[in-house]
A = this chain, B = another copy of it.
Amino acid sequence: MNPETRHLISADVVERVLKAASQQKYSPNRIAATLRTKRSGVIGVVLPDIMNPVFPPILKGIEDELARKGLIPMIANAEGGKERQRFVINQMVGRHVDGLILATSARNDAVLEHCLEEGLPVVVVNRSEESGRVSCVVSDNRLAMSLAVRHLVELGHRRIAHIAGPGELSTGFERRRGFVDSMRDAGLTESDCPIVDSLAYSRDAGHAACRALLSQGVPVTAIVAANDLLALGCYDALVETGLDCPRDVSVVGHNDMPLMDTVFPAMTTVHIPLYDMGVRAAGLMLDTLDARTSGSVNVVLRPELIVRRSTSAPAAA
């Protein structure tokens, strides 16, 4: 079936094989065949920000699942723009990885395009990819935001702000949309529920966004942050401004990354099964390598609200 090795077999055998294949409508899966013969045992994993504590549990899940088949992940950080990402991914490809698990991709990602052009199996983790050309493992961001907003509304909050994540990332984009929908579903007024965009998923960016929110003078009693680092930045800004969390302002995070139970106040946050997310992503990669599946799938995990100490009824209620 392979034109490159056809000369090794006598011409009449080649002809009979091709004829039989044609009758059975059999077409060889080139990528799978190549992988079966040239398997390197290493899966590249590309992160957007190694300092974000959300990734270690995902990486651990990936590692444990790959280990069951004797494969190992090799991790690279690709911060600082698309050029850098492309460079890092090219280095991965040059090291002959069997496939790539990307936690980096933006909503319409040229880098992803590049990987697909290289013919490399790709799975995207904690991001969704809109074209549907690759398999993704995500958490249900819309559901997550409705859990957060409903919790606050049940406590009596009516003026709830959202510190949004970067809009070019699916998590930032979807959580923002989820917030708007949930706010409307709860019958809240848009002008009472300001949205402030943050520039990055970092504590500093959350601090800056919360400062900007507080300076707007909209008297919110609660903040839903698009992730835990942004929520920690809100903690910092509230302390600076002399506001108490949760007495003056309740804060909800997102991800339930490690140590969120030990911060002060212990953070109410949307728990995402991060370790499982890694396990699933690695599982999809193994399926792809073994050509057990064709086409792409979206695995959507169910988030869960963990109520701790950073939310309470508003003081006025």
Chain A residues with CB under 8 Å of chain B are 40-42, 50-51, 53, 56-57, 59-60, 63, 72-77, 87-88, 91-92, 94-96, 232, 235, 258-259, 262-266
Contacts and interface: CB of A to CB of B under 8 A. Distances in A.
Contact of A259 (B59, B76, B91, B232): B232
Contacts of A264: 262-266
Contact of A59 (B50, B57, B266): B50
Most chain B CB neighbours (cut-off 10 Å) among A42, A50, A91: A50
Most chain B CB neighbours (cut-off 10 Å) among A74, A76, A77, A88: A74
How many chain copies?
2
A223 to B, nearest CB: 16
17 contacts: A40-B95, A41-B91, A50-B59, A50-B63, A51-B57, A53-B259, A59-B77, A72-B87, A73-B76, A74-B91, A232-B259, A232-B262, A259-B263, A262-B264, A263-B263, A263-B264, A264-B266
Contacts of A259: 53, 232, 259, 263
Given A42-B91, A50-B63, A73-B77, 5 more contacts: A50-B56, A53-B56, A95-B96, A262-B263, A264-B264
A71 to B, nearest CB: 9
Given A72-B88, A232-B259, A60 B51 contact: yes
Contacts of A76: 72-75
Given A88-B72, A264-B263, A51 B42 contact: no
A51 B56 contact: yes
10 nearest A-B residue pairs (beta carbon): A264-B264, A75-B75, A95-B95, A262-B263, A51-B56, A74-B74, A50-B56, A50-B59, A74-B76, A259-B259
Most chain B CB neighbours (cut-off 10 Å) among A59, A232, A262: A262
Contacts of A74: 74-76, 91-92, 95
A59 B265 CA distance: 29
Most chain B CB neighbours (cut-off 10 Å) among A57, A60, A77: A77
A286 B59 CA distance: 28
Contacts of A265: 264
Given A262-B235, A263-B264, A264-B264, A72 B91 contact: yes
A227 to B, nearest CB: 14
A266 B262 CA distance: 10
A258 B265 CA distance: 17
A225 to B, nearest CB: 14
B53 A258 contact: yes
A63 B232 CA distance: 25
Contacts of A91: 41-42, 72, 74
B262 A95 contact: no
